[in-house]
Amino acid sequence: MENEVKLAAGAMVALAVATGALVVMPYIQVSDIRPPPALKPYSDQQLRGRGIYVSNGCVYCHSQQPRDRSLGPDHARGWGRPSVPADYVYDRPHLLGTMRTGPDLFNIGARQPSKDWHLGHLYQPRAYARESIMPAYPFLFRTKDAPETGDFVVNLPASHVPPGKIVVATQEALDLVAYLQGLDHTYPVLPAPDTP
């Protein structure tokens, strides 16, 4: 009986130490972080797009956390400055990602600000990057014979336009693109130095 008590006590101590080191200490470190002045909360449309990003599994292939120059070639790839905790103040849950099958999207809104590019890339990625392994998302679009009032017609390369049809973005596609365009973290994260 004495060994079981020691085992249980040891397990509780180990659990308490792990909880303190992996949960409590990081929470204390980031609990007072304020967003940079240029970081704005997501709009309603961007939040809907973020939900579509999650539901379609984009987070499984794309990260949103460029690394420091000393840790990897992210800067050389044009992915922008390394991320800092304040960049994620409005993210619930955080979509940092764990794999990079595709490029990091932390600054995709700055690298690719074109709505037409994003919509076309979602409809058929290989029309824009021939070697891309990203799946196409044609279910986010409708093909029609002619546009109707309020339709956003996608400007695709001629080789990828369905014969005699046009491709129209659904509201879900437009929301997803609004979210992607909002991923622009090119603002400075350090306050400007005081000038005398």
Question: Are 93 and 120 part of one and the same domain?
Answer: yes
- Averaged confidence pLDDT in the chain: 89
Q: Is the pTM of this model over 0.85?
A: no
Q: How far apart are CA 131 and CA 2, in angstroms?
A: 64
Query: Angle at the Cα of 132 (from 129 to 138), degrees rounded to 5?
Result: 90
Please report the pLDDT score of residue 41 as a whole number. Answer: 94
Domain encompassing residue 17: 1-32
Residue 54 lies inside a defined structural domain of this protein: yes
Question: Are 22 and 103 part of one and the same domain?
Answer: no
Cα dihedral 58, 59, 62, 68, rounded to 10, equals: 160
The 3-state DSSP class for residue 135 equals coil
Tell me the torsion sign for CA atoms 168, 174, 180, 182. positive
Question: Are 7 and 82 part of one and the same domain?
Answer: no
pLDDT over 70 (residue 1): no
**Sheet of 141-144, strand order:** 141-144, 166-169, 152-153
Interval 146-170: pLDDT, tens: 989 999 999 999 888 899 899 999 9
Interval 11-70: pLDDT, tens: 999 999 999 898 888 888 777 888 888 889 999 999 999 999 999 999 999 999 888 888
When pLDDT is averaged across residues 111-118 and rounded to a whole number, the result is: 93
When pLDDT is averaged across residues 167-182 and rounded to a whole number, the result is: 96
Question: Are 68 and 155 part of one and the same domain?
Answer: yes
Find the range with the poorest average confidence among 61-65, 73-77, 106-110. 73-77
Please report the pLDDT score of residue 40 as a whole number. Answer: 92
Residue 195 lies inside a defined structural domain of this protein: no
Residue 189 lies inside a defined structural domain of this protein: no
